[in-house]
Homo-oligomer: A and B are copies of this chain.
């Protein structure tokens, strides 16, 4: 295992310390229990958005804390669910009276722990569960579909509504809508190594790819031989379209997400290849996002997310945001 680390035990803490120091204008990191809040307290009467999950998917979620997105994030150890005490501590810190919306990716551990925190909380709260990965029903750590990169889109769009005065119920409804309007699927060329494990999560041959991989290296639809980028892109889009059924002339967000170890040039090449196919179907790419947002440590691979957009979603996608990983308008 080759990693920049001093010890597996200190890995997360040192990384959070660096994150907090590098972005002290945007975030505060809190320890024991670990959670990240905005540097500026949540304003009174604003619904507080909290997400979290295992570490190893950065910049999601800590890099998405800030104006126009999350109020807090709870990082678990690498690929391990955060605990209810982290979520409760975060909720106590950021709840300003208008309630807390938990944004949870569909993994059994995350769901259980967020549910426990929600039950222990005194104040009003709701949860949005993301399950955008169309690859498989049920997986190593999941009942139902996995929550992957569309979580970033949910956090951006609901973050905007909350910032502009949306109520807890309105934020919950919009989050559910964005999740329903989104579909994702990914492919991996390589595995990744959890620091505490010290060895790759799975083995993969020199000429193989995992088609429909999960963001912890969970099996997808099949182990396949390497193919051209255009073939891979077409197959990912076909699987997403089959589920999402975008119509001709419908406006979408095309989000090409890197898993961590794939160069930007390749992500843009996937974007080009995806545009080729979407253009043929007269599906209109209205907004774009390309980069490493929902990663799997150093995994080589990528995922595509489509989100069907309407006027409401467009407005909230475009509104100002100021986080470590996404920033525009300010």
Contacts and interface: CB of A to CB of B under 8 A. Distances in A.
A21 B288 contact: yes
Interface in A80-107: none
A302 interface: yes
Interface in A244-291: 254, 256, 260-273, 275, 285, 288, 290
A136 to B, nearest CB: 22
A196 interface: no
A211 to B, nearest CB: 13
A269 B58 CA distance: 13
A21 B226 CA distance: 26
A74 interface: no
A306 interface: no
Contacts of A2: 189-190, 206, 209, 226, 300
Contacts of A290: 18, 22
A220 to B, nearest CB: 16
Contacts of A18: 267-273, 275, 290
A297 B261 CA distance: 9
Contacts of A228: 5-6
B22 A263 contact: no
Contact of A288 (B22, B55, B272): B22
A4 interface: yes
Interface string A1-29: 01111100001101111110111000000
A295 interface: yes
Contacts of A302: 4
Contacts of A265: 11-12, 15, 55-56, 58, 78, 297
B209 A266 contact: no
A294 to B, nearest CB: 12
Most buried by B among A2, A206, A256: A2
Interface stretch (A124-132, A161-169, A322-330): A322-330
A297 B230 CA distance: 20
A3 B209 CA distance: 11
28 contacts: A2-B226, A3-B229, A4-B232, A4-B267, A4-B270, A5-B229, A5-B266, A6-B228, A6-B230, A6-B269, A11-B265, A11-B269, A14-B269, A14-B272, A15-B272, A17-B268, A17-B272, A17-B275, A18-B271, A18-B272, A56-B265, A58-B263, A59-B264, A260-B263, A261-B298, A263-B295, A263-B298, A292-B292
Interface of A: 2-6, 11-12, 14-19, 21-23, 55-56, 58-59, 63, 78, 189-190, 206, 209, 226, 228-230, 232, 254, 256, 260-273, 275, 285, 288, 290, 292, 295, 297-298, 300, 302, 327-330
In the A-B complex, list the 10 residue pairs whose CB atoms are closest, starting with the nearest. Answer: A18-B272, A18-B268, A18-B271, A2-B189, A4-B266, A58-B264, A4-B229, A22-B288, A15-B265, A17-B272
